[in-house]
Amino acid sequence: ETGVTQSPTHLIKTRGQQVTLRCSSQSGHNTVSWYQQALGQGPQFIFQYYREEENGRGNFPPRFSGLQFPNYSSELNVNALELDDSALYLCASSLTSGSRQETQYFGPGTRLLVL
Amino acid sequence: GNSVTQMEGPVTLSEEAFLTINCTYTATGYPSLFWYVQYPGEGLQLLLKATKADDKGSNKGFEATYRKETTSFHLEKGSVQVSDSAVYFCARNNAGNMLTFGGGTRLMVKP
């Protein structure tokens, strides 16, 4: 059983650029959630995808967007990057069955630095 | 909104000392509660969880009991090791299974 994987591991961008981060969910999981973890802080929920649709969103502007693919993998896109977007971006996968959602398991993260 | 508050670190202990990291949560709804651990340069690993009041989660010598009357989920370990040095996050889930995390507590264990 493979765990959650994310790519790339590190990324450097400049202000105003766009970035795409990728996540492959754990085998058997159908739901992907994205979190932003600024240095020295706890993760903050960005959004969740289930059945290829956004299934909940935190307090992040529309320039943060995402996709989920039929194989349950997911992308996080951030447009018009700002310096404050520098953070560790964590992907978590889980299994949703009916109205029940199981525990979220996290990938190793992508560390984004915006200069 | 829902929130999680945990004791600020760093917590510095000697090997084999007793560990307690306090965590309290807002009492909205009937959340599941979690402790995740983050080792340097890595993502989050689930350490333990509890899904209802009076449940005790345990793993690798760590324990936490879901206390509804005090809205707490304190993490304990009887004898810490140097390898336990990491940042520990308490979390609760919300509608849609969004997780709300505390700010994290850094534990440093010295030989």
pLDDT digits (tens, 9 = 90+) for A75-91: 999 999 999 999 999 99
Give the pLDDT band (50/70/90) at residue A1.
low
Say whether pLDDT at B6 is over 70.
yes
Alpha carbon of A94: minimum distance to chain B alpha carbons (Å): 10
What does the pLDDT average to over B101-110?
Answer: 96
* For testing contact with chain B, the best of A31, A104, A105, A110 (most B CBs within 10 A): A104
List the single residue in B with minimal CA-CA distance to A99.
B96
Q: Tell if the CB–CB gap between A103 and B34 is shorter than 8 Å.
A: yes
Q: Does B88 touch chain A (CB under 8 A)?
A: no
| B window 11-30, beta carbon within 8 A of A | none
HEC profile for B74-98? CEEECCCCHHHCEEEEEEEECHHHC
Alpha helices in chain B (DSSP H): none
Contacts of B45 in chain A (CB under 8 A): 106
Say whether pLDDT at A101 is over 90.
no
Contacts of B100 in chain A (CB under 8 A): 45
Say whether pLDDT at B1 is over 80.
no
What is the rounded end-to-end Cα distance, in angstroms, of chain A?
38
Q: Where are the beta strands (DSSP E) in B4-110?
A: 4-6, 11-14, 19-21, 23-25, 33-38, 44-50, 56-59, 62-65, 75-77, 86-93, 99-101, 105-110
pLDDT at A13: 98
Say whether pLDDT at B77 is over 80.
yes
pLDDT digits (tens, 9 = 90+) for B8-36: 889 999 999 999 999 999 878 789 999 99
pLDDT digits (tens, 9 = 90+) for B41-66: 888 999 999 999 999 999 999 999 99
